[in-house]
Amino acid sequence: MTRIRQGSYVVGLLLAVAGPAAEIRVVGSDLLGPDFARAVALFSQQNDVAVKLDLRGTRPGAEELSAKRADLGLFLLPAGENPPADALTSRVIAYQVAAVVVSAASPLKQVTIPQLRGIFSGSSGEAFTRWGELNLIGAWTSRPIALRALAPSAGLAFPLFQQVILAGAAARPALEFAATPEAVIQRLQATDNSIGVIGLPAGELPGLRVLSLAASPSDPAFGPTPEQVHRGNYPLRLPLQVTFRREAAAELQLLLKFLLSDEAAAALAPAFFLPLPPGARNQLVFELEEMR
């Protein structure tokens, strides 16, 4: 099975302002992005809270937290792998989400997981190379399917897709990877017979459509909305978990509430994170307030 990548980007940023002597040491995924680091800096200044970010990756962060050299972790873990235990508590606060997109000119609005395997997998029993094989009619019937995706070195979108949809199988050699989100979006916009895998966009993509996904032809299709992602109906998701010592919950309250705020959600969106639905966030804030 394809392993979800954890990089080595180091933020190593001390966001300290005049205030309490003790700082909150935060470790975790290197995929949270510079917008998130800036939002934490602003939170630090506005709330007179010293925060040190060390975002070298989930695995080194988990080691730091387990060794009590950090106070809070923000972790992305593959399905079936749990965050560190040892008197620590974890809660999901957002999801890294991948999206399958086509041209807005395409009549396709949803696709099944078996169809995606047939389109992208080099070892699928049923192979689709033309849009007519997916029941598109008219001028689309004989048009070839062009495959695009964000390169694995540039983000989790395709590794997540490969793990969840392709069950770790190799992609077709015809799949064209792009080195940046902007480049793959441009290629998708330029070729209306293409289908691509990208990180969930923070806003609308001119000329493109995000597809809803169904488990099978007889199952309903779901789009990547906060509600459907949180319920697990949309499968291309990886939870972002906050992990800390329960006895420290009171000291971490301000930061924990910030992580569930609209400001944090907006800062994480450029890195392809989707927040919990508002109701779930409010419920989690209440739960965290009650922790002792």
- Whether 6 has a pLDDT exceeding 50, the answer reads no
101 and 138 inside one domain: yes
CA 67 to chain centroid, in Å, comes to 27
Single-letter code of the amino acid located at 232: G
Which domain-ending residue is among 182, 202, 231? Answer: 231
Q: Establish if 200 belongs to a structural domain.
A: yes
Domain count of the fold of the chain: 2
pLDDT tens digits along 156-196: 999 999 999 999 899 999 999 999 999 999 999 999 999 99
> 224 or 20, which is more confident?
224
**Could you give phi then psi for residue 98, rounded to 5 degrees?**
-105, 150
86 and 101 inside one domain: no
Consecutive H or E run containing 265: helix 262-268
Q: Report the pLDDT value the prediction gives residue 85, as an integer from 0 to 100.
A: 67
**Separation of alpha carbons 172 and 128, rounded Å:** 11
Q: Which domain holds residue 119?
A: 97-231
Q: Report the pLDDT value the prediction gives residue 78, as an integer from 0 to 100.
A: 75
Q: Establish if 4 belongs to a structural domain.
A: no
pLDDT tens digits along 39-55: 999 999 999 999 999 99
**Separation of alpha carbons 286 and 292, rounded Å:** 12
181 and 191 inside one domain: yes
Q: State the CATH number of the domain containing residue 258.
A: 3.40.190.10
164 and 81 inside one domain: no
- pLDDT grade for 79, boundaries at 50, 70 and 90: low
Q: Establish if 5 belongs to a structural domain.
A: no
DSSP helix/strand/coil, 72: strand
- Whether 253 has a pLDDT exceeding 50, the answer reads yes
Q: Establish if 2 belongs to a structural domain.
A: no
Please provide the average confidence, as pLDDT, over all residues in the chain.
Answer: 89
227 and 242 inside one domain: no
114 and 171 inside one domain: yes
177 and 82 inside one domain: no
68 Cβ contact list (under 8 Å, min separation 6): none
> 18 or 120, which is more confident?
120
108 and 197 inside one domain: yes
Q: Establish if 1 belongs to a structural domain.
A: no
- Whether 244 has a pLDDT exceeding 50, the answer reads yes
177 and 129 inside one domain: yes
pLDDT tens digits along 126-162: 789 999 999 999 999 999 999 999 999 999 999 999 9
Q: Establish if 80 belongs to a structural domain.
A: yes
Q: List, as one string, the DSSP characters of 224-243.
A: --HHHHHHT-S--EEEEEEE
For the chain, the first-to-last Cα distance in angstroms comes to 39
266 and 163 inside one domain: no
**Separation of alpha carbons 217 and 118, rounded Å:** 14
- Whether 11 has a pLDDT exceeding 70, the answer reads no
Average pLDDT in the 264-269 region?
A: 96
Average pLDDT in the 250-266 region?
A: 95
255 and 217 inside one domain: no
Q: Report the pLDDT value the prediction gives residue 124, as an integer from 0 to 100.
A: 58
Q: Of the candidates 230, 239, 237, which has an alpha carbon nearest to the alpha carbon of residue 90?
A: 239
Q: Establish if 173 belongs to a structural domain.
A: yes
